[in-house]
Amino acid sequence: MKVAVVGVTGLVGTRMMEVLAERRFPVTEFFPVASERSVGKKVTFAGKEYAVMRADDAIAARPDLAIFSAGAAASRELAPRFAAVGCRVVDNSSCWRQDPDKKLVVPEINADVLTADDYIIANPNCSTIQMVLPLAPLHKRFGIKRIVVSTYQSVTGSGIKGIRQLEAERAGKGPGEYDAFYPYPIDRNILTHIDSFLENGNTKEEMKMVNETHKILRDDRIGVSPTTARVPVVGGHSESINLELFQDFTLEEIRDIWEHTPGVTVQDDPSRNLYPMPIHSLGKDDVFVGRLRRDPSVPYGLNFWCVSDNIRKGAATNAVQIAEALLAAGLLPR
């Protein structure tokens, strides 16, 4: 199996290499790809050192699989070129997610949509992935009428630039002493501004959660009302989720469903101060849920708290799991 990682020197690209090695994905030839300025740099994959290469050279080698985390512009240009040589592309950018001809996949939910015709497959937004994973079995069992979600997203969601700004501010550096990524300070602050603002008043991040939820759960009737915020946390996104279901439920039923849902871990025992926290999600692939309680203000209302490592399940791990689903379906060589 010839595998390329495009955007290999970035925060997510580095994690993709780690996850491929951890999960023992059957890589026989590895092609690390990044932008021109990174060509020749050394990266380590599965204990072996490789020199970063140009996309053109990787395409000429005709890989079987390319996992992308290089941004929408690079994906728009390069993904079709990789696909044209028979390579399956799993893309982590927003480029293809709403393309009606491209599948948007969280493998535990909808790996069944993958077919032999799929050469570019979209990896969903990190905030969407961790939300829909616990929601999918609830929608199947009770039906979801409406979702109100507020996110608390770590600076790792902005890549290394977000981390560096937070670190610079915490080191006491003032404006002009570091390269600012955010329009305001992030340390000891919260920014309800992730991606750009749209004419409807929402940000692109918020509309991603609306549109991607509909596509993954295959139900455009679900009401989705998101507010996304960046918080001064290094690693791990958190979400406060309020649901209105179509049928009544017990909290015991909800817990039982989640305890039998692959990729979901229940942490819900207030008597022992047990609830999900981003600091405990780091390096893990599960989505952690807790703080379960009824919302009496609406019929069949449920509140819960949801946490996940946004670089792992929210990006790298989900992408590798898509590749594993392609392999299991016989769409990649063994």
Instruction: Kindly name the residue from 87, 95, 139, 237 that is annotated as catalytic.
Output: 237
How many Å apart are CA 198 and CA 142, to the nearest integer?
A: 33
How many Å apart are CA 75 and CA 62, to the nearest integer?
A: 17
State both tokens at 32.
């690390």
Known catalytic residue at 260: no
How many Å apart are CA 288 and CA 282, to the nearest integer?
A: 11
Sign of dihedral through CA atoms 123, 126, 128, 129?
A: positive
State both tokens at 75.
């994906």
DSSP 159: -
List C-alpha distances in Å: 179 to 133, 171, 182, 216.
Answer: 36, 14, 9, 37
Any bridge partners for residue 43, and if so which? 50
User: How many C-beta atoms surround the C-beta of residue 138 within 10 A?
Assistant: 20
User: How many C-beta atoms surround the C-beta of residue 77 within 10 A?
Assistant: 12
Known catalytic residue at 87: no
DSSP 142: T
- What region, left, alpha or beta, does residue 215 occupy, with left being phi > 0 and alpha being psi -120 to 50 degrees? alpha
Residues in the chain: 334
Amino acid letter at 175?
P
- What region, left, alpha or beta, does residue 195 occupy, with left being phi > 0 and alpha being psi -120 to 50 degrees? left
- Kindly list the strands in the beta sheet with 65-68, ordered across the sheet, starting from the edge strand earlier in the chain: 29-33, 2-6, 65-68, 88-91, 120-122, 103-104
Amino acid letter at 138?
L
Contact present, 326 and 1 (Cβ < 8 Å): no
- Active-site residues, by number, are 126, 237
